[in-house]
Amino acid sequence: MPTKDRYPITLIALHWLIAILIVTAFALGTIMTDMRISPTKLQYYSYHKWLGVTVLGLVAVRLLARLLSAAPAYPETMGIWQKNAANATHILLYVLMFAVPLSGYFYTSAAGYPVVYLGLFELPTFIAPDPDLKHTLKELHELLTNVMLGVVILHVLAALKHQFVDKDGILRRMMPTK
């Protein structure tokens, strides 16, 4: 259950787990696309897809948990525009956490490749192979990952400002311990 000044522990755990998975998927995506074709490159593509699909599943759980629980109130010291900016950034992050993996998933389908999750079972394909769409979705996946990078940087900078400049305890709301 949420306490007055912190998020519920489920949301805190999901926040940090998803953050680690996104950073890893982002780094792997950047590294693998620059590699020359090799078995390692193909393996990295699989790992990247598994990480992305895991993010997608966890974000769905997280959104549900977030909708079912109240967020702790912002401190009085935060102005209305700051609260609105924080809320808008958080909504945008949720949208991107769905849009980035979905665009990668649809791109893979349009390229004609199956996604075999953890090498164990094949996930459904929602798009038939299509060279034109494949190209568009690839560009879209790249664009969205770059937008996500920008918004995440903004999000981290805002958290650091609250912690070290405003010293208003906002970061503690998302920390597992006090």
Contacting positions for ligand HEM (CB under 6 A)? 22, 25-26, 29-30, 33, 45, 48-49, 52-53, 55, 100-101, 104-105, 107-108, 115, 138, 141-142, 145
CB of 145 to ligand HEM, least distance (A): 4
**Nearer Cβ to ligand HEM, position 85 or 154?**
154
- CA 90 to CA 72: how far, in whole Å? 14
CB of 38 to ligand HEM, least distance (A): 14
DSSP-derived 3-state class of residue 4: coil
**Nearer Cβ to ligand HEM, position 7 or 105?**
105
Report which secondary-structure segment, H or E, holds 32: helix 9-34
Closest CA to 59 of 117, 100, 87, 29: 100
Yes or no: say if 8 and 66 are a contact pair by the CB < 8 Å rule: no
CB of 129 to ligand HEM, least distance (A): 14
Closest CA to 15 of 24, 7, 26: 7
CB of 68 to ligand HEM, least distance (A): 23
**Nearer Cβ to ligand HEM, position 62 or 138?**
138
The residues, any chain, with a CB within 8 Å of residue 174's CB and separated by 6 or more, are 6, 7, 12, 15, 16, 159
